[in-house]
Homo-oligomer: A and B are copies of this chain.
Amino acid sequence: MLPRRPLAWPAWLLRGAPGAAGSWGRPVGPLARRGCCSAPGTPEVPLTRERYPVRRLPFSTVSKQDLAAFERIVPGGVVTDPEALQAPNVDWLRTLRGCSKVLLRPRTSEEVSHILRHCHERNLAVNPQGGNTGMVGGSVPVFDEIILSTARMNRVLSFHSVSAWSLSAGILVCQAGCVLEELSRYVEERDFIMPLDLGAKGSCHIGGNVATNAGGLRFLRYGSLHGTVLGLEVVLADGTVLDCLTSLRKDNTGYDLKQLFIGSEGTLGIITTVSILCPPKPRAVNVAFLGCPGFAEVLQTFSTCKGMLGEILSAFEFMDAVCMQLVGRHLHLASPVQESPFYVLIETSGSNAGHDAEKLGHFLEHALGSGLVTDGTMATDQRKVKMLWALRERITEALSRDGYVYKYDLSLPVERLYDIVTDLRARLGPHAKHVVGYGHLGDGNLHLNVTAEAFSPSLLAALEPHVYEWTAGQQGSVSAEHGVGFRKRDVLGYSKPPGALQLMQQLKALLDPKGILNPYKTLPSQA
The interface of chain A, by Cβ under 8 A from chain B, is: 162-168, 212-213, 215, 219-220, 223-224, 226-228, 240-244, 246-257, 259-260, 262-264, 268, 280, 282-283, 299, 302-303, 306-313, 316, 349-352, 355, 358-359, 411, 413-415, 440-445, 475-484, 488, 492, 495-497, 499-501, 503-504, 506-507, 510, 522-523
Contacts and interface: CB of A to CB of B under 8 A. Distances in A.
A359 B354 CA distance: 11
Given A227-B226, A243-B500, A257-B503, A252 B351 contact: no
7 contacts: A166-B444, A250-B444, A252-B477, A253-B477, A282-B310, A310-B351, A312-B351
Contacts of A442: 166-168
B250 A480 contact: yes
Contacts of A313: 168
A384 to B, nearest CB: 23
A254 B500 contact: yes
A273 B235 CA distance: 34
Given A212-B252, A246-B475, 5 more contacts: A168-B443, A226-B227, A259-B259, A352-B359, A507-B510
B257 A213 contact: no
B168 A484 contact: no
The interface centre, meaning the residue of A482, A503, A506 with most chain B CB atoms within 10 A of its CB, is A503
Contacts of A227: 223-224, 226-228
A213 B259 CA distance: 13
A238 to B, nearest CB: 11
A495 to B, nearest CB: 4
Contacts of A445: 249-250
Contact of A444 (B249, B259, B316, B523): B249
Contact of A167 (B244, B282, B299): B299
B162 A303 contact: yes
A240 B241 CA distance: 33
Contacts of A481: 250, 252
Among the interface residues A253, A303, A350, A500, which one has the most CB atoms of the partner chain B within 10 A? A253
Nearest to A482: B252
Contacts of A259: 226, 256, 259-260, 262
A156 B147 CA distance: 49
A213 B244 CA distance: 17
